[in-house]
Each structure stands twice: as C-alpha cells, then as structure tokens.
Homo-oligomer: A and B are copies of this chain.
C-alpha cells in the first residue's frame, strides 16, 4: 500500500513544489463542480447524505468511545439546528492520544508523510460535494463558493502546505562527510541532520471558512511530523469533521495511528480551546478568528503560533479607465458572501475632487452614486443575488450591519432567497465618513458594510490606508490608478504596511479572491496576522534542525 502511494503521488508532489516557485497558475483540484469532472451522481448523493446526517451522530471518526456527544450547528439557510452530534473528549485524553501518536508519526519519513497526506486529499476529492453542502449549511456561503472554497481551493491550499513542508524538510542533506584539511592531516567527521517536529499541534477553526482556513495549518503541521488536534468552531464542525475522518482513514489504511489527527470539539458548556492552547504539551497553534483571541494566543509562552485575525481592508480610488466596470467589480467584491470574507474591502477612499475616468473628471458625489447603483443593481437581480450574497453565518453580523452609523448612502435590506425562504440574509449598506472622523472607520466592521471616506486627495487616501493597515491590520487592498507614479507610491506605502495590492481589477477577478501557489494569503507583516499561506516561514517554524557528528573510523 505504502509503496503504491509513492508511484501515485510522486508527480503531484514534484509539480506542487515547482508551482510554489513559478507562482504562475496552478491548480491540482478542478474548481468547476461539473458532472464532466466529478460525475453525474455525486451531487445528488451528497444532498441525500447531508440530509441523512441531520439529527444523527457523526460516527465516521476513528477515535475511541466518546465522553459525550455534542453539537450546536444550525443552518443559516433554514435557521434551524442541524442536530448532528460529535464525540466529545476531555482535553487530557486528546493530548495523551496525540502524544502516543507523535512518536509514531515523527518517525515516518518526510516524503512518506507527504504521500499519505496527498492520498488523503485525493480521497477528499470524492467528497467535495458532501463538504460543500456541509459548508453551505454551517457558514451560509452560496453553493458554488461552498464547493470551491471548502473543496478544491482548500485542497489546493493543503497541497501547497504539504509541498512547502516537504521542500523545507528535504532542503538540507540527511548526511554529509565533512573533511577539513589541517595541513599534515585531515579531520574527518560523518555528519547527519534531522528535522525534529516540535510536538502536538492545535488548529483552531473559524465559523465562516471551516476548511479553507483550517487545512493549511493542519497539513503544514502534519507534513512536518506533528500530530494535530483540530478544534473547529462549534457552529461549523461538519465540513472539517469530514476532512479529519478522511485523514484518519488513510492513516489507518497505512498502518498508522489515526490519533495523528483528531477532532477536538467543544461541548456546549465546556469550551476547551483555552485549556488546550495553554496545555504545556501543545507546541504549535494555528488560529483564524478575532483579534482579541489571536493576541491572547500569540502571547502564550512556549508556543509557536500562526494567526489570522481581523483587518481593515481599503480601496484607493484615484483614476480609472472605465468607472462602470470598476464599480461593477467593487460591488461584487463587497457583496460576495455578504462581506463575510477576511479579504472583503471595507473602506473606500475617494478624493473630494473626485477621480478621473478616461478624459473625464467624475465628481466625488457621482462616484459614490455609481458605487451605490452598482450594489443596488446586483442585490436587486434575483438571478444573481442569492448566489453572490449567500446567507449570514451569525445573527450578530446582521445586527452590526443594521446598527452601523454614518451618513447613509444605501440602506441594507433583507433580500429574499427563492430557494430558502427562511434564510438569514443581509445586503451591503453604504455609509459615508469624513477622513477626519478616524474613529468611524478605524476598525473592522465584519459583514457587508462599505464605508466611503472623502479625502483631500489620493496622497491622503494612501496615507490613511497605510496607517490603518499598520495599526489595525489589512489582508487585501484594492487600488485604481492610471498614473504609474501613483501606482509606485501605493506599492511602496502598502508594502511597508505588509499589505498586498490588487491594481485596477475589473471583469472576472476580485480583490477578495486569492490563488494557491501564487498569492500569499495574509503576509504576516501587519496586525491582521503573523502567518502567511504558504511562505517558507509557515512550515519551517514547525520543526527544529538538529545535527549529529562523529569522527569517521579509519
């Protein structure tokens, strides 16, 4: 079995490592959920399987008898509990099992770990539709995003982490003969090096992207030899439970302890995240979520942490070729999954004198008006809106949108979803603020909230976008300028704020999207997070190089 995996996945691994360094388009898992690719029956079967899971126990995990069965998920489309329960284990039980598994997994060769993990991803491929429905009915994402983000895109991000880890683990020789000329004789030492995994890893998931944001840390820790406890958000367990179950199956098939990867759920009245994070045996922590909790994790002593926290993403409008295309693009960006993406833009900086579009000067008011019309047009298009906006994961987001303060340009509305009459929905609200009123726009307002900020000029827009990124974090930035000098200024300012910039996007690509093997996700260089999918730092901090040496016998 094990040898088969080498033959099966050698090419995938090599191609993935190469792709990391080419950074041109590369995707191993097809993102189009078409029957041609995935078969005619799989969608239907996944729908049935999802329905059959409701109000039952999730019994696929290869973990011992549970201390309890717990579950708190509800569908944002139905606003009804899913009723699925998962096995609950005491943190000490999970850690003890992980520690046993550590001493097995760390001794598996890096290449073999990579092949086993790739096998788990290939097997997940057959379950992408199942994961999609699980994602849809926990996060509120529309079907296509649920499929792509939690299925092929997540799997590609996982493969990226495997490739990056494998590359780093094999970057120094396993052994070498060191021979130092000493004049009359040579000193000869046989040397060897091992990449020693740090220990038990904890991966803490979020409610909006339960697999996409979890699998990079999960696979990065696994490929580098660390057993993992996956602690999902209590409201979004099923998508990642399916992933963990699949990893466990592949581990077992290859004669390995399934406890190398365990699901660690909270009970309703027993949140175990802090207990696990503070456990002295937990050495690595991956986290996606609030800034407050992320900061708490980052300062825990004796841990290596990888965080993605909140950010305030800016769009700088300076000059455009075709304003119509620009506002269409931005309206989509802010509406996609109702602004519940960490990469969604929030602050739109527009100079008080307006912007140039081709040869024309468009007044500030008109730019705002056009943005508003583009958003309205999208929200009021019944064929598009439900598939773009999806549903709202958490009632608090809806409440935040409705309570948002400022000069209203466009009100939010509960648009109706013909397929799900009971869906929790919310469309983008647009509010205006003045550049001087910093407090109003200097924090993340998670959800579909657009703040239009009138600035003195583009220089001020850039300065504010940089300042916000440096002090509050930013994960993405959009900029529109036809002026090469302004572009260079924006690049320089935002690079110092550790924020990637998408320039002049129109058409079918949006600033909130990013591509595995090409776009680094989060830079680690501002308060929005200390880690990046997947730069070398994301993997090498998970192990330690240790060397041995001995004189060569004559």
Give chain A's interface residues, CB within 8 Å of chain B. 21-25, 32, 168, 171-173, 176-183, 187, 189, 191, 193-194, 196, 198, 299, 301, 491, 494-496, 498-509, 515, 518-520, 523-525, 532, 535-537, 540-541, 544-551
In the complex, chain B residues whose CB is within 8 Å of the CB of A25: 178-181
CB distance from A516 to the nearest CB of B (A): 11
Contacting pair A498 B544 (CB below 8 A):
yes
Smallest CB gap from A518: residue in B: B178
Closest to A198 in B: B525
Partner of A172, one of B21, B189, B193, B551: B21
Q: How far, in angstroms, from A548 to B544 measured CA to CA in the complex? A: 32
Query: Which chain B residue has the least Cβ–Cβ distance from A179?
Result: B25
A301–B536 alpha-carbon span in the complex (Å): 23
User: Shortest distance in angstroms between A488's beta carbon and chain B's nearest beta carbon?
Assistant: 10
CB-nearest residue of chain B to A517: B178
CA–CA, A333 to B404, complex, Å? 69
Indicate if the CB atoms of A548 and B498 lie closer than 8 Å.
no
Q: Can you list 18 residue pairs at the A/B interface with Cβ under 8 Å? A: A21-B171, A23-B173, A23-B176, A23-B193, A24-B177, A24-B178, A182-B508, A193-B520, A194-B491, A299-B301, A491-B548, A498-B546, A505-B550, A505-B551, A519-B547, A519-B549, A537-B541, A540-B540
The residue on B at minimum CB distance from A499 is B546
Alpha-carbon gap, A494 to B551, bound state (A): 19
Residues of B within 8 A of A509 (CB): 187, 189, 551
B23 and A172 contacting across the interface, CB-CB below 8 Å: yes
Give the number of copies in the complex: 2
Measured CA separation A180–B24 after assembly (Å): 9
A495 pairs with B21, CB closer than 8 A: no
User: Are A501 and B23 interface neighbours, CB within 8 A?
Assistant: no
CB pair B548–A518 under 8 Å, yes or no, is: no
Q: Is the CB of B23 within 8 A of A196?
A: no
List the B side residues contacting A507 at CB < 8 Å.
187, 551
Let me know if A545 and B532 touch, CB within 8 A. yes
The contact of A21 among B173, B178, B500, B515, by CB within 8 Å, is: B173
Q: Which residues from chain B contact A502 at a C-beta distance below 8 Å? A: 548-550
Enumerate chain B residues within 8 angstroms of A24, measured Cβ to Cβ. Answer: 176-179
CA distance A508 to B185 in the complex (A): 10
Q: Please pick, from B191, B536, B551, the residue contacting A171 in the complex, using a CB distance under 8 A.
A: B536
* Minimum Cβ distance to chain B for residue A302 (Å): 9
CB A183 to nearest CB in B, in angstroms, measures 8
What's the least CB distance linking A267 to chain B, in Å?
33
Task: Given A546-B523, A551-B506, answer yes or no on A196-B301 (Cβ-Cβ < 8 Å).
Answer: no
Closest CB of chain B to A270's CB: distance in Å? 30
| Contact among B187, B503, B540 for A549, CB-based, below 8 A | B503
Which residue in chain B gives the minimum CB-CB distance to A509?
B187
Question: Would you call A176 and B505 a contact (CB within 8 A)?
Answer: no
Contacts of A520 in B (CB 8 A): 193, 545-547
- Pairwise interchain contact A548-B189, C-beta atoms closer than 8 A: no
For A501, what are the chain B residues with a Cβ–Cβ distance below 8 Å?
Answer: 548-549
> Residues of B contacting A532 with CB < 8 Å?
545
Measured in the bound complex, the distance between the Cα atoms of B538 and A536 in whole Å is: 12
Residue of B whose beta carbon sits closest to that of A185: B508
Given contacts A519-B547, A525-B544, 13 further A-B contacts (CB under 8 A): A22-B173, A23-B173, A24-B176, A25-B180, A178-B515, A178-B518, A182-B508, A491-B548, A503-B548, A503-B549, A506-B551, A520-B545, A537-B540
In the bound assembly, the distance between CA atoms of A189 and B501 in angstroms comes to 12
CB distance from A343 to the nearest CB of B (A): 13
Q: How far, in angstroms, from A545 to B518 measured CA to CA in the complex?
A: 12
CB distance from A227 to the nearest CB of B (A): 14
Of all chain B residues, the one with the shortest Cβ separation from A532 is B545
A299 CA to B303 CA in the complex, in Å? 12
Residue ID in chain B nearest A176 by CB atoms = B23
B187–A546 touching, CB < 8 Å: no
The residues of B that contact A496 with a CB separation of less than 8 Å are: 196
B519 pairs with A545, CB closer than 8 A? no
Q: Shortest beta-carbon distance, A171 to chain B, in Å?
A: 7
Q: Complex: how many Å from CA A191 to CA B23? A: 9
